[in-house]
Amino acid sequence: MSAARSPGRQGLLVARIPGVFALLAGCSGPQSMIDPAGPAAQAVAALWWWMAGFSAIVLALVCAIWLYAMRRAPRGRTPQQERRIASRWIIGGGIVLPMTSIIVLLAFGIPIGQRLLPGDTGPEPLRIEAIAHQWWWEIRYPGVEESFVNEFRLPVDRPVDVHASSRDVIHSFWIPSLGGKIDAIPGRIHVIRLEATKAGRLRGACAEFCGLEHARMTLDVHAMPTDEFDRWLGERQGTVRP
């Protein structure tokens, strides 16, 4: 009977292989958080992998303890011994483990969060305004009168301070491959620092539900070599002839 079933099981296993590759393909691409194209995104991706690894270890330990508890032979204990064992599990699993996990995550997460904020070190950043509308992005560059719709260009290996704001409701500016996200709120300006380390096409999006067309509120991102970007920006500022 088992010999007759084995081909079906093997076929089921083979049929699942494309699904595994499809899931792995989601880890890369122009809008993948764990396929970084900048130093801030690399820090975020590293934190994500540490959290995923730590969670996997905790899950494995919990499952191992659960299986051990289900399979071990019953032991006779007094009520006092049972209370002591229960207290140890409550203190260890309900207090010590969560507090330790939170402290470790904060120790990693707070410095990484600081990297996403504007700082006073390094080269002078380029200021770009990202103004959110329902349901599109208005991008403005210094010295350029015209604005760009859903088109965001930045130079490679140069920090960029994105000044995000909104004209209507709360939105959120996010280019996953370059770093974290920041809210765009009416009447306020929030700043996030981004930097691309390689040229290419990326994709941004609004990460805050903002209405019926929220899913269509995307951003076409071009990371350009510095000389190419300077020439492109100079042409629009009128300082360089096209």
* DSSP character at residue 214: G
Instruction: Identify whether 184 is part of a domain.
Output: yes
Report d(CA 198, CA 24) in Å as an integer.
22
Question: Kind of pairing, strands 126-133 and 160-166?
Answer: parallel
pLDDT digits (tens, 9 = 90+) for 223-242: 999 999 999 998 888 765 55
Dihedral sign, Cα of residue 51, residue 54, residue 57, residue 61: negative
* DSSP character at residue 77: -
Instruction: Identify whether 21 is part of a domain.
Output: no
Of 182, 116, 194, nearest to 155 by C-alpha is 194
> Helix axis angle, 97-115 relative to 39-71, nearest 10°?
170
pLDDT at residue number 5: 47
* Range of the structural domain that residue 197 is part of: 30-72+116-242
Report d(CA 10, CA 27) in Å as an integer.
27
Report d(CA 149, CA 24) in Å as an integer.
32
Instruction: Identify whether 93 is part of a domain.
Output: no
> Residue 135 is which amino acid?
W
Contacts (Cβ under 8 Å, ≥6 apart) of 79: none
Number of structural domains, the chain?
Answer: 1
pLDDT at residue number 3: 46
**CB 193: neighbour CB atoms within 10 A?**
22
Instruction: Identify whether 22 is part of a domain.
Output: no
pLDDT in tens, the chain (242 residues): 444 444 555 555 555 556 555 555 555 556 666 677 777 777 778 888 888 888 888 889 889 988 888 888 777 778 888 888 888 888 887 888 888 888 888 887 787 777 666 666 667 889 999 999 999 999 999 988 889 999 999 999 899 999 999 999 999 999 988 888 899 999 999 998 888 988 889 999 999 999 999 999 999 999 999 999 999 998 888 765 55
What string of DSSP letters covers 133-190? Answer: ETTEEEEE-TT--S-EESEEEEEBTS-EEEEEEESSS-EEEE-TTT--EEEE-BT--E
CA angle 228, 234, 240 (to 5 degrees): 105
- Is residue 89 reached through a cis peptide bond, with omega within 30 degrees of 0 on the bond before it? no
Instruction: Identify whether 55 is part of a domain.
Output: yes
CATH number at residue 239: 2.60.40.420
Of 141, 178, 133, nearest to 163 by C-alpha is 141
Instruction: Identify whether 204 is part of a domain.
Output: yes
**Burial level of 17, CB count in 10 A (0-12/13-18/19+)?**
exposed
Half-sphere exposure of 227 toward its Cβ, with a 13 Å CA cutoff? 0
Instruction: Identify whether 79 is part of a domain.
Output: no
Report d(CA 113, CA 101) in Å as an integer.
18
Instruction: Identify whether 143 is part of a domain.
Output: yes
